[in-house]
Amino acid sequence: MTAPRSRAQGFTLIELMVALLLMAGIASILYGSLALASQSWDRGEAKADQASDMRAALTYLRAQLSEQYPQRIWKSPEISLMFAGEREELRYAAVLPERVAGGGVYYFRLAVARNGDKSQLVQERTIPDASSLQAPEFANAERSVLADDIAELRISYFGRDANAAELAAPTWRDRWEDPQRLPLLMRLDVKPVKGAPWPTLVVEPRRSPEAGCLAWDPAGGRCARTGGR
């Protein structure tokens, strides 16, 4: 008895179309997963870079602001300090190490500035003129960017009113108006364009204003002019 001839095996057109549709669906899912993973990786790197910039900026500001130099304007009537504290801007004198710009005492400005479509936390510096009658401006100052994409800088100052006695209770304020004394504490709050605000930075200036004065009047809490100046 002769064995029946086996039917040729193969895929029908419908089976091929179903298989192709399944492969396209799997490829689409894989592509979406890879795209999502890539976006997550990019966001993670961006957050890591932002956190690194934040830590570096806070470390630098803590070190420099705590070591402010009580530089005085000796030709001004009040022999006032080179210090101006506003809500969104801080001007102060500090020493740069020799490895940076040759070292020495500079006058700094810390603020948020626009640079095209960018908003940056910047620090400007200029060399103070000892023969000037007032603190220098920053028209041609050198600028360093401490952090990008910063929406707001808010600064508060803890201390007593100008000419207040030492027994007076210090308070927080948005502006510092005492030309003779530095605040006891400064608080900096930085808010980026995206993400959580930076940890609040509280700094205590370590040098007293007497350090920049030849004749300090402890009763009046001010620098007195001497014959040598």
User: Which pLDDT does position 131 carry in this prediction?
Assistant: 75
CA distance 182 to 205: 8
Contact 163, 80 (CB under 8 A): no
Q: List average pLDDT for each run of 10 residues in the chain, which is 229 residues long.
A: 54 76 81 67 57 86 90 83 94 80 84 90 89 84 91 95 84 94 94 92 85 76 63
User: Which pLDDT does position 155 carry in this prediction?
Assistant: 97
User: Which pLDDT does position 227 carry in this prediction?
Assistant: 42
Q: Residues 14, 16, 22, CA angle at the centre, nearest 5°?
A: 105
User: Which pLDDT does position 4 carry in this prediction?
Assistant: 54
User: Which pLDDT does position 9 carry in this prediction?
Assistant: 60
153-180: burial string, b at 16+ Cβ within 10 Å, e else: bebbbbbbeeeeeeeeeeeebeebebbb
First-residue to last-residue Cα distance in the chain: 131
User: Which pLDDT does position 44 carry in this prediction?
Assistant: 55
Contact 173, 215 (CB under 8 A): no
> Structural domain boundaries of the chain?
50-223
CA distance 168 to 160: 7
CA distance 109 to 197: 21
Torsion, Cα 204 210 213 219, to 10 degrees, reads 130
User: Which pLDDT does position 91 carry in this prediction?
Assistant: 96
CA distance 122 to 115: 10
Q: Which residue has the tokens 């041609």?
A: 140
Hey, what are 11's tokens?
């895929």
